[in-house]
């Protein structure tokens, strides 16, 4: 388990070599899933006592589904719309790198500290976005960090639209 913990720390440090390592390690997909679940659970623990939030198990399930959708969106944007000549990737590589990019989300457990919630959320969002840029740059073999930033921004816009559509379909009441 020390290897897993070390990988999470390196991911949170935005270590590009770690993202290359997990991109190539097909056995790291389970670890990447573990990072997504731990990040979701940390966010859930940070919300303990807030009645409007679903339980930690539901949060973990939603996070896993979101991770799959996010990786699919990034795959399409990064390999089909904005590839560089060297770009080659597959869903497994993106799932692994983007899963580890969730590592900074573990700080969300500190949302439980009174008065820190918004600061912790802001830091987590910015830190995870930076990790996603590194993950995308490495997984898609980009030379340009700016291209990775653009892919993440376009991906976030498309992902947001997809999630709103899914939410509308799930929340739709019969006869409405």
- Residue 35 is assigned to a structural domain of this protein: yes
C-alpha angle with apex 170: 151 to 121, nearest 5 degrees?
50
Look over the chain and give the mean of its residue pLDDT values, rounded to a whole number: 90
DSSP code string of 77-98 = IIIIIS--TT----HHHHHHHH
Which spans in 47-83 are helix H?
A: 56-75
Instruction: Supply the pTM of this predicted model.
Output: 0.89
Joined together, the tokens standing for residue 72 give 């699919």
The residue among 79 and 175 whose pLDDT is bigger is: 79
- Whole domain around residue 69: which residue ranges? 2-171
Distance CA 164, CA 176 (A): 18
Q: In the structure encoding, which two tokens stand for residue 108, read together?
A: 């969300």
Alpha-carbon gap, residue 61 to 72, rounded angstroms: 17
Domain-embedded: residue 59: yes
* Count of Cβ atoms closer than 10 Å to residue 61 Cβ: 14
Q: Is 8 exposed, middle or buried (0-12, 13-18, 19+ CB in 10 A)?
A: buried
d(CA 175, CA 76): 35
Straight-line distance from the first to the last Cα atom of the chain, in angstroms, rounded to the nearest whole number: 50
Q: Is residue 176 domain-resident?
A: no
pLDDT digits (tens, 9 = 90+) for 125-176: 999 999 999 999 999 999 999 999 999 999 999 999 998 888 788 777 555 4
pLDDT at 1: 46
Please report whether residue 71 resides in a domain.
yes
Structural domains of the chain, count: 1
CA–CA distances in Å: residue 137 to residues 17, 18, 86, 131 = 11, 12, 11, 10
Count, residues in the chain: 176
């Amino acid at each position: 388990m020390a290897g897993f913990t070390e990988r999470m720390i390196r991911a949170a440090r935005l270590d590009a070599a770690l993202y290359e390592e997990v991109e190539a390690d097909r056995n790291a997909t389970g670890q990447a899933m573990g990072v997504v679940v731990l990040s979701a659970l940390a966010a859930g623990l940070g919300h303990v006592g807030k009645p409007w939030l679903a339980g930690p198990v539901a949060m973990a399930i939603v996070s896993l589904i979101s991770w799959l959708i996010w990786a699919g969106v990034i795959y399409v944007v990064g390999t089909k719309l904005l590839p560089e000549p060297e770009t080659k990737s597959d869903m497994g590589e993106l799932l692994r790198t983007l899963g580890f990019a969730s590592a900074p989300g573990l700080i969300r457990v500190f949302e439980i500290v009174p008065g820190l919630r918004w600061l912790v959320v802001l830091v987590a969002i910015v830190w995870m976005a930076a990790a996603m840029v590194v993950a995308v740059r490495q997984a898609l073999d980009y030379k340009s960090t700016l291209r990775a930033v653009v892919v993440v921004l376009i991906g976030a816009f498309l992902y947001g639209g997809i999630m709103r559509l899914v939410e509308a379909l799930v929340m739709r009441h019969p006869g409405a």
